[in-house]
Structure 1
């Protein structure tokens, strides 16, 4: 048996295949990258912008720390490693802050543990009654403190993943009562304070997270649409025309006298199956015709007429040979 002919691809077909595969993979990866970046980069960046944090740092002091257990008691936490996991153990840090634009906050340092102990002891002796009657919330510019007992978070979501955010380090740094540090409050929600703010980095993260996956996905969709409706459709329309042209060329091949040349596999030869079938058919028809002629014309008074048999036999042979088609009749 002849082996099937393997069609060799042209360099244009190979280039089209690899280009299509590249854009398919680019579209898939850009889509999944965008879906991954939405909860971790894009949504926090938009929230930070919409909350309108004051880029001028304020002066914060830690005034209260609550340690709570149980999901019902942990409505929020100052720091959470993993933005999707449930909260069962939470540490809530509350701070007072004031907007003091004349103070150079770069010289503010975290107080030592000795100073914290002295300040706590002084508060217990001198200001015991004051702590019980302490008012919280927005005090305004007329008060010493602009807001009392605001929630302290490392960022607008209060969560992150190591090594960018280590909650153990964060809590250790800000949970001691009397710790003072620079902070940033939200104009939209003054009860929310974050410890660090870099708006330039926020904008750049937003640009990187949206400017790369979205255009890549759009370009991939445009190319695949053009390839499907234009390039591949044109190839499919040309292919049947080429096949029809090849069939017409094969049918047009003939001998010099105009007789079509039969194929080697389909020709009638003495060893072919078609020749045997025609020969068997001729013999069957010959026998039937001979018996029929003998039964009608050769019986005279119950006796066979030898002369009629010979004449009828010749007549049957002449009739069968002249009427039966096939290779033998042509011979």
Structure 2
């Protein structure tokens, strides 16, 4: 019996700790996903949708403007904190040239490409001609980050000087946007990590908690009353040393026994009450029995019941 109780206790503890683990896992997974959406998932999807050319272009810093005031700072080349308000912004404009290997010349084209709308020069015969002029330079597609991964002071110091040459990556969707760093493999890996870990963990937690709530705990609650009833039956039917002894089934009651006296007193009490009820009914029917006669009868009845208490059953 003791081993069963110990086994049941360990089972309950294991169930408790397992449930607590999945509750915490679900909470942390949910908050992690909500945290990763603006900082990892959204920038990764935006980088993919903007279709940056992985072949680097040649960029040269054209000019650098520093502006003050929220109305003058519609964008900035670097911002530490994606949710930070911009009141002091530094805007770097560059010209970039696409390598000739990336240019496809189609004679007598009927449709103009998106780059044509942005001063695109398809011939590139002269090195002084640029594929695009005055493009906005950003460190990434959102133009924001957090130290130590992105330090805006170092970024601006590196690219703000006029005439600085460096490699850059332009967007085929918006050629006016140029970023200084691009690794599509890292973008895809960040997206996989941000989606493949929190979402399955949260789903697994929800599935376990649903099974535990509708099946495991319900079975335990249904089994608990049955076990309690079984224990009560065992206790009532047991004949252990601590059980209350029952009176013997065989053998008559003797006049000297305590049980006999109690039964006799109970009988006299019920007999007295019955006599009073009979007298009361007779008085109501006949209407002639007075209170004196009733009292006399009650006294006689009481005398009779008292006299029979100590005597044998035969006298009654």
**TM-score clears 0.5:** yes
Unaligned runs of 5+ in 1: 1-6, 104-135, 260-268, 270-274, 300-308, 324-331
Unaligned runs of 5+ in 2: 103-116, 239-244, 251-257, 281-289, 310-316
Residue aligning to 1:295? 292
Please tell me whether residue 148 in structure 1 is matched to residue 139 in structure 2: no
SS in 1 for 2:75: coil
Q: Distance in 2 between matches of 1:81 and 1:203?
A: 23
Residues 46-82 of structure 1, C-alpha deviation per residue, up to 9 Å, x if partnerless? Answer: 1111111100000001112111100001000000011
1:101 shift after superposition: 4.5
Residue aligning to 1:15? 14
Please tell me whether residue 317 in structure 1 is matched to residue 303 in structure 2: yes
Residues 270-315 of structure 1, C-alpha deviation per residue, up to 9 Å, x if partnerless? Answer: xxxxx9xx99xx7xx89xx7xx99932798xxxxxxxxx9xx8554
Q: CA RMSD in A?
A: 3.4
- CA pair 258-33 structure 1, distance change in 2 beyond 3 A: farther
2:246 to 255, 266, 272: 255
- CA pair 258-28 structure 1, distance change in 2 beyond 3 A: farther
Paired residues, number: 252
Q: Distance in 2 between matches of 1:297 and 1:157?
A: 109
Residues 9-67 of structure 1, C-alpha deviation per residue, up to 9 Å, x if partnerless? Answer: 52111111111111111111111111111111111111111111100000001112111
Q: Distance in 1 between matches of 2:143 and 2:306?
A: 105
Moved over 6 A (4+): 320-323
Residues 114-170 of structure 1, C-alpha deviation per residue, up to 9 Å, x if partnerless? Answer: xxxxxxxxxxxxxxxxxxxxxx93323235211110000000000001111111111
5 Å matches for 1:124-135? none
Residue aligning to 2:218? 233
Residue aligning to 2:284? none
- CA pair 145-295 structure 1, distance change in 2 beyond 3 A: same
1:250 shift after superposition: 3.8
Please tell me whether residue 190 in structure 1 is matched to residue 175 in structure 2: yes
Contact 1:138 1:190 (8 Å CA) reproduced: no
Q: Distance in 2 between matches of 1:224 and 1:298?
A: 77
Question: TM-score normalized by structure 2?
Answer: 0.71
- CA pair 251-175 structure 1, distance change in 2 beyond 3 A: same
2:119 to 117, 125, 138: 138
Residue aligning to 1:210? 195
Contact 1:137 1:150 (8 Å CA) reproduced: no
SS in 1 for 2:135: strand
